[in-house]
Structure formats: structure tokens, C-alpha cells
């Protein structure tokens, strides 16, 4: 075993290289370099290890993506075999490869009805960017060239390319880049817990869901339905704070989209692949989208790959356009990524992970979270479904009042989580978790125990305990 001082030196070496040469996503580079990064060197199951040998329980599945947990040898072997057999080839020159066609067919068998055709890309952002192009193309093919406005929601996260960031509704994502681009408009999301503070009074969840859906209709009418191309939304808003729609919301939204001939684009990048106890959020909420985007859990994050699926009307129109589709990436349907994704879907299916989230470990996590934390003085609400769970930290539980500087308490709590070996995200003052679908009951208990300890310490620091 290496002695601690050599481990320390190794860590210092990597930190120095990182500080000198590597710019990190969504980070203040100068501040991070001063503090020094944590170097993750190994992972197994739901745990990560850093270069100093510290173990952490990863309550976030990486970035909401490692469905089958870390260290799955079957996925590694599938990737290895593809690397040894066909490390690269593309789909541009009237060519295909076995991994990608098998993956496309497998996806078609799992997707909502009518989604029999897919395109591939390499990240969620690219998938969403492609989706918007396909939406524009669809309306152009139909001769409705005026339909160019893309609607999406406040607090939405759809990625970082010019178009995906424009679609995103998290406002800090815009000023550095002079975004959103023209033609992107926002409507509110169905954030029921925040309804009172937003001035809706003591409204019931279902009434609120319909009210928020009606804001979409008002926006479409104000812009002119003939100009609105699409409405993009995550079935459950993820990086915007785990916002679960009231039951009334999606049926009302679907009706409005149909009424005004607005294409419904579901971003399933987080909600896909069993996270909610169904293969997709579309099935969990009974939604029939015109187009869907997916990434993350498609390969459990083992390889960068994303997909766009087309429902019947878009699929038919685009597949039968009778002209070249002028779109595609060098790595669209990369054979190694496809092989890993295909194996990932096989493992999820064979091991019954989706049913496990629906009937076993999902309900267990939701029940235990509520038992342990719902009555906590710092916790306004515990909400969740499947293996997505949010714990809202509030200043006043009874009045549903938030803390004045959103993010301060959340970050404070997140730091306590880190210090005790638990990785949870803090979104503003909401603590969120999305563990691998393979997590055991014992591990759920360990995760909740660590989360409670961090929330207790935070509560003490702000005089709530
Ligand atoms: N759509 C959704 C719903 C996402 O959550 C993307 C698109 C973009 O995917 P790519 O692969 O381009 O990153 C995402 C990504 C966080 C966090 O801190 C969340 C994401 C990415 C990075 C950080 O919660 N989601």
C-alpha cells in the first residue's frame, strides 16, 4: 500500500497540473485553483474514491447518469469488444454498424408509442440542439415557415450550446454569452411548493398545475399560434430544483399543445432510463411527445452518447422528405458508445432495474426520506418519485418562506455533506439526490443518515435546532 505522504504528493501534482492547464465547467476558475480540486481516481457501486483514499457515497449518480452503478464489468467488456472490433466508423457514407442499428431498434422497443425512429448525438446539449433543428425542419417541410418560436420554462435546464442554453430557463446561464438567441420565450414551471411565496396564496396542487399550464396557453396566444413551433420541457425539472408537476399539469399542457399545433418536445435527459420507475418520464406521466431527447442514463454515463427520437408525425415527415437531411456529427452513433449503451439497456432490462425503482427501492427511498426528514425544523418539504428526491430547506416551515439569499444555506449544507463523505447537489436551498438504480436498502439508509447529519449541523448553525 502506498504511504500517505506519497499519496499526498501525487494529489498535489495533479492539483497543480489542473490549476495550470484545465478550465472547469460551471466553476470560478481562480477560486477553484486557489482551493484546489478533488481528484477522483476510482469508483465502484455507489461509491467514489479520491486520490487521498477518501471514500464518498455518490448520491447523484455522477451527474444524474450512472443508472447501473460504477464498475459494471459487462459494460466495460462491451466497450472493449467494440474498441477491438470497430473502434470507429461513421454513418455518413451509406454505412451503418451493428451496434448502432441494434441500439436504435432496442430504443424503439422501449420508447413511447410512435417513436420508432432515432438519431444519435453525443451529449444532452447536442441532442436538444438537434431537436430544435428538427422541429424547424418539420415545420418548413409542412410549409409553415412562420412557426419558429421555441417555448420552454423558467428554471429549465436543457444544456449549454447556443440553442440549448437559450432554451434553458436558469437566468444565470445567459448574460455571459448574450443569450437567449431571438425566438426563445419562457413560461413559468409548475413549482407548487413556491406558489405561496410567488403570490398564489394557499392554492391546491391540481388547481396550481392547471393555472401554470394556462400560462402556456396565454403565451401562445400572445405570440400568435402560427408563430410558435414547439414547447420543450423536462417531465420533472431536474437541475432547476427537482420540480415535480402536479397531476393536473401534463394533461393540460398536452391539450394546449394539441389545440394550437405546437410540437411537444420532452427532454428526458434526466428522467429517462428508469429514474422515475418507468423507462421514460413520458410513461410515468402519460405524455405523448412529438419528439424526445435523451442522454445520461442511455449509457449510464460510461460513454458520451445521446439520442433524439421522433414520434409518428415528425418521423414520417422527416424520413419521407425525399431530400438529404443536412445534419449529423462525426461521432453520431459511435460504435463503442453504441455498444456500451446497448449493453446498458440489456442490463437494466435483465436485472429489472426499472421495476425495482417503481416497486421496491424507489418507494423505500421515498418513505424513509419522509420518515426521517419531513418533520425536521429546517425542512419545508420532502418531494420525490422513483429515485429522484428533493429536500427543501426553508427559513419558515409553516409559512413556506425561503431564506433571503437563495443558495447560501444549501451550499452550507452541501459542504457538510461533502465533509462527511456524501455527494448531494444543492440547487439554491434544495438538497437533491438521484442515486444509481442499483442502490440497496442499506445504502439508502446510509445516504439518508449522512444527509440528516448534514442537515442537523446546518440547522444548528442557523439557530433552528
Ligand atoms: N437536458 C437536461 C434535462 C439535463 O439535465 C442536459 C440536457 C444537457 O446535457 P449535457 O450532456 O450536454 O450536459 C442536462 C444536463 C447539475 C447538472 O449540476 C445537470 C446537468 C449537467 C451538468 C450539471 O445538476 N444536466
Query: Measuring CA to CA, which residue among 342, 405, 309 is closest to residue 108?
Result: 309
- For 10-37, how does the pLDDT look when each residue is reduced to its tens digit (9 = 90+)? 999 999 999 999 999 999 999 999 999 9
Instruction: Determine, yes or no, domain membership for 21.
Output: no
Q: Are 47 and 136 members of one domain?
A: no
Ramachandran region of residue 409, left (φ > 0), alpha (ψ -120 to 50) or beta? Answer: alpha
Q: Are 226 and 343 members of one domain?
A: yes
Query: Measuring CA to CA, which residue among 380, 374, 452, 369 is closest to residue 416?
Result: 452
Q: Are 325 and 425 members of one domain?
A: no
Determine whether 430 is exposed, middle or buried from the number of CB atoms within 10 Å of its CB (0-12, 13-18, 19+). buried
Question: What percentage of the chain reaches a pLDDT higher than 90?
Answer: 97
- For 249-278, how does the pLDDT look when each residue is reduced to its tens digit (9 = 90+)? 999 999 999 999 999 999 999 999 999 999
Q: 430 CB less than 6 Å from ligand 1? A: no
To test ligand 1's pocket by mutation, which of 60, 61, 122, 124 has the most ligand atoms within 8 angstroms of CB?
124
Predicted pLDDT of residue 71: 98
Out of 296, 319, 350, pick the residue that ends a domain. Answer: 350
Ligand 1 centroid–CA 359 distance in Å is: 27
Ligand 1 atom closest to Cα of residue 296: 11
Predicted pLDDT of residue 4: 57
Q: 343 CB less than 6 Å from ligand 1? A: no
Q: Whose CA is nearest to atom 24 of ligand 1?
A: 239
Q: 111 CB less than 6 Å from ligand 1? A: no
Q: Are 56 and 144 members of one domain?
A: no
Ligand 1 centroid–CA 239 distance in Å is: 7
Ligand 1 centroid–CA 21 distance in Å is: 24
Residue 260, CA atoms < 13 Å, CB-side half-sphere: 26
Q: 123 CB less than 6 Å from ligand 1? A: yes
Predicted pLDDT of residue 3: 60
Q: 299 CB less than 6 Å from ligand 1? A: no
Ligand 1 centroid–CA 289 distance in Å is: 20
Ligand 1 centroid–CA 159 distance in Å is: 6
- For 200-216, how does the pLDDT look when each residue is reduced to its tens digit (9 = 90+)? 999 999 999 999 999 99
Tell me, what DSSP letter sits at residue 332?
A: T
Q: For residue 428, give the CATH number of its domain.
A: 3.90.1150.10
Predicted pLDDT of residue 380: 97
CA dihedral 285, 342, 61, 348 (to 10 degrees): 60
Ligand 1 centroid–CA 156 distance in Å is: 10
CA 425, 198, 234: angle at the middle one, nearest 5? 45
* 149-153 and 184-187 beta bridge pairing: parallel
Q: 292 CB less than 6 Å from ligand 1? A: no
Query: Which distant-in-sequence residues (6+ apart) come within 8 Å of 108 by Cβ?
Result: 115, 116, 117, 118, 309
Q: How far apart are CA 273 and CA 279, in angstroms?
A: 5
Q: Are 369 and 327 members of one domain?
A: no
Q: Are 336 and 374 members of one domain?
A: no
Q: Are 402 and 443 members of one domain?
A: yes
Q: Whose CA is nearest to atom 10 of ligand 1?
A: 124
Question: What percentage of the chain reaches a pLDDT higher than 70?
Answer: 99
Q: Are 112 and 261 members of one domain?
A: yes
What are residue 190's phi and psi, to 5 degrees?
-85, 65
Instruction: Determine, yes or no, domain membership for 145.
Output: yes
Ligand 1 atom closest to Cα of residue 25: 22
Host domain of residue 210: 74-350
Identify the H or E element spanning 335: helix 335-350
Tell me, what DSSP letter sits at residue 172?
A: G
Q: Are 391 and 333 members of one domain?
A: no
Q: Whose CA is nearest to atom 18 of ligand 1?
A: 239
Higher pLDDT, 6 or 104: 104
To test ligand 1's pocket by mutation, which of 58, 64, 167 has the most ligand atoms within 8 angstroms of CB?
64
Predicted pLDDT of residue 8: 85
Q: 245 CB less than 6 Å from ligand 1? A: no
Predicted pLDDT of residue 6: 87
Q: For residue 109, give the CATH number of its domain.
A: 3.40.640.10
- For 389-445, how does the pLDDT look when each residue is reduced to its tens digit (9 = 90+)? 999 999 999 999 999 999 999 999 999 999 999 999 999 999 999 999 999 999 999
Give the global pTM.
Answer: 0.97
Amino acid at each position: 500500500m502506498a504511504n500517505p505522504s506519497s499519496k499526498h504528493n501525487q494529489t498535489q501534482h495533479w492539483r497543480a497540473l489542473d490549476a495550470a492547464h484545465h478550465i472547469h465547467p460551471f466553476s470560478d476558475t481562480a477560486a477553484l485553483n486557489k482551493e484546489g480540486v478533488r481528484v477522483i481516481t476510482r469508483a465502484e457501486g455507489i461509491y467514489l474514491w479520491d486520490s487521498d483514499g477518501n471514500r464518498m457515497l455518490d448520491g447523484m449518480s455522477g451527474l444524474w447518469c450512472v443508472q447501473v452503478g460504477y464498475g459494471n464489468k459487462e459494460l466495460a467488456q462491451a466497450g472493449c469488444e467494440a474498441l477491438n472490433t470497430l473502434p470507429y466508423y461513421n454513418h455518413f457514407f451509406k454505412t451503418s454498424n451493428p451496434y448502432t442499428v441494434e441500439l436504435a431498434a432496442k430504443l424503439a422497443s422501449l420508447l413511447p408509442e410512435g417513436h420508432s425512429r432515432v438519431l444519435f448525438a453525443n451529449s444532452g446539449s447536442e441532442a436538444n440542439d438537434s431537436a430544435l433543428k428538427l422541429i424547424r425542419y418539420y415545420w418548413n417541410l409542412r410549409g409553415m415557415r412562420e412557426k419558429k418560436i421555441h417555448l420552454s420554462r423558467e428554471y429549465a435546464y436543457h444544456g449549454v450550446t447556443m440553442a440549448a442554453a437559450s432554451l434553458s430557463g436558469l437566468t444565470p446561464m445567459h448574460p455571459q454569452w448574450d443569450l437567449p438567441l431571438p425566438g426563445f420565450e419562457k413560461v413559468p414551471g409548475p413549482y407548487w411548493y413556491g406558489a405561496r411565496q410567488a403570490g398564489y396564496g394557499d392554492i391546491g396542487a391540481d388547481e396550481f398545475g392547471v393555472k401554470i399550464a394556462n400560462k402556456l396557453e396565454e403565451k401562445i396566444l400572445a405570440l400568435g399560434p402560427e408563430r410558435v413551433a414547439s414547447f420543450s420541457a423536462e417531465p420533472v425539472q431536474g437541475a432547476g430544483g427537482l420540480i415535480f408537476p402536479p397531476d393536473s399539469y401534463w394533461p393540460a399542457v398536452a391539450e394546449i399543445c394539441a389545440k394550437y399545433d405546437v410540437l411537444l418536445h420532452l427532454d428526458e435527459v434526466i428522467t429517462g432510463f428508469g429514474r422515475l420507475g418507468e423507462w421514460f418520464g413520458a410513461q410515468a406521466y402519460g405524455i405523448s411527445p412529438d419528439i424526445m431527447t435523451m442522454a445520461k442514463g442511455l449509457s449510464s454515463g460510461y460513454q458520451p452518447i445521446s439520442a433524439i427520437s421522433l414520434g409518428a408525425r415528425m418521423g414520417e415527415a422527416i424520413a419521407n422528405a425525399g431530400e438529404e437531411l443536412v445534419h449529423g456529427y462525426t461521432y453520431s452513433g459511435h460504435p463503442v458508445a453504441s455498444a456500451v449503451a446497448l449493453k446498458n439497456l440489456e442490463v437494466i432490462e435483465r436485472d429489472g432495474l426499472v421495476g425495482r425503482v417503481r416497486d421496491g427501492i424507489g418507494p423505500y427511498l421515498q418513505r424513509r426520506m419522509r420518515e426521517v426528514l419531513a418533520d425536521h425544523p429546517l425542512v419545508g418539504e420532502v418531494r420525490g418519485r422513483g429515485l429522484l428526491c428533493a429536500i427543501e430547506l426553508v427559513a419558515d416551515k409553516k409559512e413556506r418562506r425561503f431564506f433571503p439569499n437563495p443558495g447560501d444555506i444549501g451550499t452550507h449544507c452541501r459542504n457538510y455533506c461533502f465533509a462527511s463523505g456524501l455527494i448531494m447537489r444543492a440547487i439554491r436551498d434544495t438538497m437533491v439526490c438521484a442515486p444509481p438504480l442499483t442502490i440497496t436498502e442499506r445504502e439508502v439508509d446510509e445516504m439518508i443518515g449522512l444527509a440528516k447529519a448534514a442537515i442537523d449541523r446546518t440547522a444548528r448553525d442557523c439557530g433552528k435546532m
